[in-house]
């Protein structure tokens, strides 16, 4: 009997399918894997609607960072279509005033020709402190930034700034849920993952050691193992 399940992956801000490349082979044996395009709209609601229009009828959903914000919106719009949920280095809270102000500054600089400098500014917060001099990871962030482009970066930041507070809906999540994070995520602290896992019924929390905000490329084997365990539930 074929019990495979389509798997839908949603990347984070200025991330492209490259971020999931190290872990896709481990997931592929459980079903066809698709990476969502999340760079065409400037609101989380519109991004989620478009992804749902292009997605299989029912699927396992994994969202990383901004992809987690989109995953929460997908859960609000069509919870019956999500068989399993993985929330990777994300949070349920809305943007803070300080974060919004920082995003507006980055958007203005990107629009004025400073997009590459913005990517360099973001990089230290994306990785574990021990990897801040990792030229390969820095190049990956630049490559993904080029995949997305400055115009889509502005749309994504606009969407992220306007996202809803997902905390009130956490207790309504009824599908098997994995909450995955790193022990030193300096972009979204893992205390916010603990908060989500505590409120989602039956959620499994996994905190990876020696890992920052990009577990798929910082700790690919441990991340793949966690995702395989989630798909086996």
Give CA 150 to chain center in angstroms: 19
DSSP label at residue 127: S
The two tokens of residue 19 are 């971020």
Q: Tens digits of per-residue pLDDT, 92-137?
A: 999 999 999 999 999 999 999 999 999 999 999 999 999 999 999 9
- Going by pLDDT thresholds of 50, 70 and 90, the confidence category of residue 74 is very high
227 near 23, Cβ under 8 Å? yes
| pTM of this prediction exceeds 0.85 | yes
- CB 9 within 8 Å of CB 23: no
Split at pLDDT 50, 70, 90, the class of 2 is: low
DSSP SS3 for 179: strand
Under CATH, which number does the domain 1-233 receive? 3.40.50.1820
Judge contact between 4 and 31, C-beta under 8 A: yes
138 forms beta bridges with none
Q: Each residue of 166-218: pLDDT tens digit?
A: 999 999 999 999 999 999 999 999 999 999 999 999 999 999 999 999 999 99
Q: Provide the pLDDT for residue 3.
A: 64
pLDDT (0 to 100) of residue 4? 85
Chain-centroid distance of CA 80 in Å reads: 21
**pLDDT at residue number 1:** 40
Give the tens place of pLDDT for each residue, 14-36: 999 999 999 999 999 999 999 99
Residues 6+ apart with CB under 8 A from 71: 10, 61, 62, 63, 85, 87, 90
Domain boundaries, the chain: 1-233
């Amino acid at each position: 009997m074929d019990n495979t399940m389509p798997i839908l992956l949603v990347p984070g801000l200025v991330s492209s399918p490259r971020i999931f490349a190290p872990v896709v082979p481990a997931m592929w044996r459980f079903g066809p894997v698709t990476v969502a395009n999340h760079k065409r709209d400037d609101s989380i609601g519109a991004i989620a609607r478009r992804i749902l229009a292009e997605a299989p009828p029912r699927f396992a959903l994994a969202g990383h960072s901004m992809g987690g914000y989109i995953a929460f919106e997908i859960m609000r719009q069509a919870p019956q279509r999500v068989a399993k949920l993985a929330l990777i280095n994300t949070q349920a809270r809305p943007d803070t005033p300080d974060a919004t102000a920082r995003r507006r500054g980055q958007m203005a600089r990107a629009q004025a020709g400073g997009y590459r400098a913005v990517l360099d500014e973001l990089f230290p917060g994306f990785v574990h402190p021990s990897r801040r001099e990792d030229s390969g990871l820095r190049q990956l962030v630049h490559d993904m930034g080029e995949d997305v482009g400055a115009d889509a970066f502005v749309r994504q930041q606009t969407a992220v700034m306007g996202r809803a507070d997902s905390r009130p809906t956490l207790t309504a999540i009824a599908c098997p849920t994995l909450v995955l994070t790193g022990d030193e995520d300096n972009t979204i602290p893992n205390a916010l993952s603990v908060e989500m896992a505590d409120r989602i019924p039956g959620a499994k929390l996994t905190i990876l050691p020696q890992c920052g905000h990009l577990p798929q490329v910082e700790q690919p084997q441990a991340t793949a193992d966690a995702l395989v365990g989630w798909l086996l539930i």
